[in-house]
Structure 1
């Protein structure tokens, strides 16, 4: 587990971060990051979301030293990636999206080799402890090629932890992982976070981000279009949906409900969407009763992170 005596306020700080990839062959120059400003609080679980090609991978690769930025500054755990590059890279562990490891090594050998790359003395290595923590103790001496996709993902996490980094970036860590392995992986990640590790998560499973993350940043077209606590972000969509199961079948939407966004669903329920800031729940219910609809059951649906994500990225693309 990560133990840090002196913690900065922000684990990651990016100010005006830019990246333009040069033209190559028939491909024109591409501006991947357009002056990103982003601060990720120490000790948080931060969700970094965005559609494909939004700039997430470029941002992560700049932090990890794989891509050279075109402009701006970035600090990891208080260390500038330009002037304190070694200290900055030692403060971060990255679990990349692509599985990349030697199939003829064992998990033990893979983790030991990674420890050597980071200069961890043999007396300070925690290889068996880390393998046990990610559920690979029983596969310690198996060949990597014999591991399932989910186990390989776990091994990628283990390799990122060899130098006990205070910041851990997980880039699509549960892609291709079954439900049981996904659950156990998140349990371990939450343990790391409780011990002080700052977690940065990119994922296309938005329900995971909504459940796990304290704060979420959304990148689109190389720009940060939102960065807020998760609960606050979910309030951006000012609507609720009242789902009514009529006591008697409804085949036509009553005229009294035409002022609302009202749909008849295939299961026979009536879904009424309204702006909660303009119309109260009681007023909608009064309108339903005035329409002569008897209610057998009802429920409400709140916008989720997927709704917010689609709304914000769609509007940003339309504006562009």
Structure 2
């Protein structure tokens, strides 16, 4: 490793460690993009390194000769959403960029408008004008017609939290059903017997349908009654759904929300209705977005390794380009329960 600073003011790993409050070994792991460091610590170290003017230049030995030079990243977008600031997809993109830096790859970026079910509405020019060596499709559900266009172009593709008929491509997804089952089982372990689900619908995006299935499995295994507050997975849709739920079923003591944003909306609605969280209503989310630990009370949730999802997807794409005849890979990210303060034992 070396920097482009002159020897008189060379920034060292020790300097970065001192400024960021971690050990030199931790700084080394971060700069080499190795595992074993939390997302929050990793970002703090990178911010300190940038502020100090440190520029990491990989040694010649660390650079791998690849036949791939450019990959394309296509991510879903709605009129009111910016993927670069999206609480779930921004870390995924950061993970993809980390692998591109590691392998010295160029990354082309494009957005794809989608409808309420995340089905693409239009093709970005990247797919038709000058296609890259391979393609990452993030957060969308591919219709058959779009799938046929991709297959005609014979582009290597990896789906990232995305779905296609017949599962014809490598993919990185979350164990959504298992994560939801674990979240609801945790509420049951805390003594809750009237547990609702917020933010799902029978025809929702596949990942949300899977979370609904996990909820139902836990509820049915314990002989409990399901309560549905069906709505789109957006805070503005979740608020009226949560209001109606609490009005019609005041005996509910816990809510499983299909993502953290709707969970936070449910907490706001509960407070406005005069119900204390978690004493009178426990709430658990899914995803562990950055905001989850900063709301009051801090949100209990299921953590999805979003940075890891992006890194793994980019590595899978490089593998697919280098070894096109390799067997299909379906990588599954296992959610992790993060216990904070929005859930407590039920006394009812």
The answer to whether the superposition gives a TM-score over 0.5 is no
Higher-RCO chain (CA-CA 8 Å, sequence separation at least 6): 1
* Higher strand fraction (1 or 2): 1
* Higher helix fraction (1 or 2): 2
Q: Could you tell me the TM-score, scaled by structure 2's length?
A: 0.27
Larger Rg: 1
